């Protein structure tokens, strides 16, 4: 008979321990002090709930679409000129639930808990639950929460919902009805054509100007077409949007401007249209999201593109480099996916902003595309040893 003796301290690290470690180091990158960092860490653990205790040697709790390796956490940095970036974290609180209906219910309960704790209203969300959280929802998500982790401890909260909850064929009608209920009856009509409506997002809590946002999917998006998609007035110029897409997609070295017509032929580009008032019926914000990870050989290349875009807007890429080091001890060249998206954000009355979306890679590092297979498992134990430091 063999007996397995417990080895002292041998329990696998947990999802909560890994992501809280990442968050604390990212708080430092974002210039947040220890008191803020501690309260933000508690917030992340609260939003994750029991899945935080899940040992990392178990597989991901569900095949969440939140990140490529199904970690239910993704970080992002909102960069601005002349200051440190703002840190945000995206979480799927319902990821332990066996079905999407339960996933959505848990997500909603966590939003309500946050609302009670931070004293904000959920009226706008409550008005939409029948549309986005039906009893028998379709995928690929039910409810995600993003927390903007500011100095002073009070988070701003964003809730992401699935317009295809009642089936993809109803997504457009669901978005139109949601905007009508939110007091933007003309919003849907102002949008450009799209191949899908992956998310509707609501700002809840401490925002100067809360937004209702819709994300549009554009298959085979070219820079030339991307330049036509903003409906804000005045908005970014077509040339500015074109330049960002060709740079992020890696098409800007093509001769004679032919890069303008190279499509994002793999994972699609997205646009996001933000509505804040209904005087004009037009959006007040436009964002272009480029899934840079599918258009690079490795994260060294993704960083190079991000750095060029950031410098172009007078922003310092050093914080992004430090953020990558805060997330993982692997070399950027050894994976493709740490930088998931690059986005250019225009919101009326504010300077342009660049957002970088950063993966936690709790379960897997996607292999660089150098003739290797598309995806290999992380050598988890050895990599994690470095991450906890
Ligand atoms: N992982 C999903 C995707 O790649 C959803 C997602 C996570 C996303 N973070 C994002 C989409 C940032 C756009 C921008 O589409």
pLDDT tens digits, residue range 328-337?
A: 999 999 999 9
What would the pLDDT profile of 296-351 be if each residue is shown by its tens digit? 999 999 999 999 999 999 999 999 999 999 999 999 999 999 999 999 999 999 99
For ligand 1, the distance from its centroid to the CA atom of residue 344, given in whole angstroms, is 14
Q: Is the CB of 341 under 6 A from ligand 1?
A: yes
Give the model's confidence band at 9: pLDDT under 50 very low, under 70 low, under 90 confident, else very high.
low
Atom of ligand 1 minimally distant from the CA of 215: 13
The pick from 216, 341, 343 for probing ligand 1's pocket by mutation, whose C-beta has the most ligand atoms within 8 angstroms, reads 341
Q: Is the CB of 342 under 6 A from ligand 1?
A: no
Q: Is the CB of 69 under 6 A from ligand 1?
A: no
Q: Is the CB of 65 under 6 A from ligand 1?
A: yes
**How does DSSP classify residue 64?**
-
What are the Cα distances from residue 45, in Å, to 5, 30, 48, 276? Answer: 30, 19, 5, 31
pLDDT at 360: 98
What would the pLDDT profile of 151-175 be if each residue is shown by its tens digit? 997 889 999 999 999 999 999 999 9
**Cα angle, residue 189 at apex, residues 186 and 194 outer, rounded to 5°:** 140
Q: Is the CB of 66 under 6 A from ligand 1?
A: yes
The pick from 144, 340, 353 for probing ligand 1's pocket by mutation, whose C-beta has the most ligand atoms within 8 angstroms, reads 340
The pick from 218, 357, 363 for probing ligand 1's pocket by mutation, whose C-beta has the most ligand atoms within 8 angstroms, reads 357
For ligand 1, the distance from its centroid to the CA atom of residue 236, given in whole angstroms, is 23
Q: Is the CB of 88 under 6 A from ligand 1?
A: no
Percentage of residues in the chain having pLDDT higher than 90: 87
Nearest protein CA to atom 5 of ligand 1, as residue: 66
What does residue 246 show for φ and ψ, rounded to 5 degrees? Answer: -65, -35
Domain boundaries, the chain: 15-359
Q: Is the CB of 252 under 6 A from ligand 1?
A: no
The pick from 63, 64, 66, 359 for probing ligand 1's pocket by mutation, whose C-beta has the most ligand atoms within 8 angstroms, reads 66
What does residue 269 show for φ and ψ, rounded to 5 degrees? Answer: -75, 155
For ligand 1, the distance from its centroid to the CA atom of residue 140, given in whole angstroms, is 12
Residue 4 has pLDDT above 70, yes or no: no
Q: Is the CB of 213 under 6 A from ligand 1?
A: no
Q: Is the CB of 144 under 6 A from ligand 1?
A: no
**Helix, strand, coil: what percent of the chain each, to 5?**
35, 20, 45
Percentage of residues in the chain having pLDDT higher than 70: 92
Ordered alpha helix ranges (H), the chain = 15-29, 34-48, 100-118, 123-126, 129-132, 171-181, 187-190, 223-226, 238-249, 299-312, 318-327, 380-387
Atom of ligand 1 minimally distant from the CA of 141: 5
Nearest protein CA to atom 7 of ligand 1, as residue: 66
Nearest protein CA to atom 9 of ligand 1, as residue: 66
Q: What's the per-residue H, E or C state across 81-144?
A: CCCCCEEEEEECCCCCCCCHHHHHHHHHHHHHHHHHHHCCCCHHHHCCHHHHCCCCCCCCCCEE
Residue 28 has pLDDT above 80, yes or no: yes
For ligand 1, the distance from its centroid to the CA atom of residue 11, given in whole angstroms, is 32
Give pTM, 2 decimals: 0.92
What would the pLDDT profile of 197-227 be if each residue is shown by its tens digit? 999 999 998 777 889 999 999 999 999 999 9
Q: Is the CB of 303 under 6 A from ligand 1?
A: no
Residue 5 has pLDDT above 50, yes or no: no
Nearest protein CA to atom 4 of ligand 1, as residue: 67
Residue 382 has pLDDT above 50, yes or no: no
Give the model's confidence band at 50: pLDDT under 50 very low, under 70 low, under 90 confident, else very high.
very high
Question: For 30-39, what is the mean pLDDT?
Answer: 97
What would the pLDDT profile of 236-281 be if each residue is shown by its tens digit? 999 999 999 999 999 998 888 899 999 999 999 999 999 998 689 9
Q: Is the CB of 67 under 6 A from ligand 1?
A: yes
Give the model's confidence band at 10: pLDDT under 50 very low, under 70 low, under 90 confident, else very high.
low
For the chain, the C-alpha Rg in angstroms (whole number) is 20
């Amino acid at each position: 008979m063999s007996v397995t003796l417990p080895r002292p301290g041998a329990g696998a690290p947990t999802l909560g321990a890994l992501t809280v470690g990442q968050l604390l180091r990212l708080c430092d990158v974002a210039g947040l002090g220890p008191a803020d960092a501690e309260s933000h860490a508690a917030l992340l653990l609260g939003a994750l709930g029991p899945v935080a205790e899940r040992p990392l040697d178990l597989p991901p709790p569900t095949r969440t679409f939140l990140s490529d390796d199904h970690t239910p956490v993704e970080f992002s940095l909102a960069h601005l000129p002349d200051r440190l970036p703002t840190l945000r974290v995206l979480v799927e609180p319902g990821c332990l639930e066996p079905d999407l209906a339960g996933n959505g219910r848990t997500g909603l309960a966590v939003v309500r808990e946050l609302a009670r704790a931070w004293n904000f209203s959920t009226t706008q969300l409550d008005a939409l639950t029948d549309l986005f959280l039906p009893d028998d929802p379709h995928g690929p998500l039910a409810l995600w929460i993003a927390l903007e982790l500011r100095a002073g401890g009070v988070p701003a909260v964003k809730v992401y919902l699935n317009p295809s909850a009642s089936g993809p064929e109803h997504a457009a009608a669901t978005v139109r009805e949601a905007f009508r209920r939110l007091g933007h009856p003309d919003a849907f009509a102002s949008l450009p054509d799209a191949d899908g409506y992956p998310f509707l997002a609501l700002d809840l809590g401490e925002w100067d100007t809360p937004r209702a946002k819709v994300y549009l999917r554009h298959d085979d998006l070219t820079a030339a077409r991307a330049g036509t998609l903003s409906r804000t007035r005045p908005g970014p110029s077509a040339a500015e949007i074109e330049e960002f897409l060709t740079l992020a997609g890696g098409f800007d070295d093509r001769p004679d401007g032919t890069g303008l017509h190279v499509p994002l032929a793999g994972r699609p580009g997205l646009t996001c249209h933000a509505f804040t008032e209904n005087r004009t019926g037009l959006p007040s914000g436009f964002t272009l999201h480029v899934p840079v990870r599918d258009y690079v050989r490795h994260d060294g290349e993704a960083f190079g593109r991000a750095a060029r875009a950031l410098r172009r807007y007078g922003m310092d890429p050093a914080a992004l480099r430090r953020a990558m080091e805060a997330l993982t001890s692997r070399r950027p060249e050894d994976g493709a996916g740490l930088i998931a998206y690059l986005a250019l954000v225009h919101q009326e009355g504010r300077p342009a902003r660049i957002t970088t979306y950063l993966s936690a890679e709790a379960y897997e590092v996607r292999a660089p595309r150098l003739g290797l297979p598309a995806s290999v498992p992380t050598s988890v134990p050895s990599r994690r040893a470095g991450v906890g430091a």
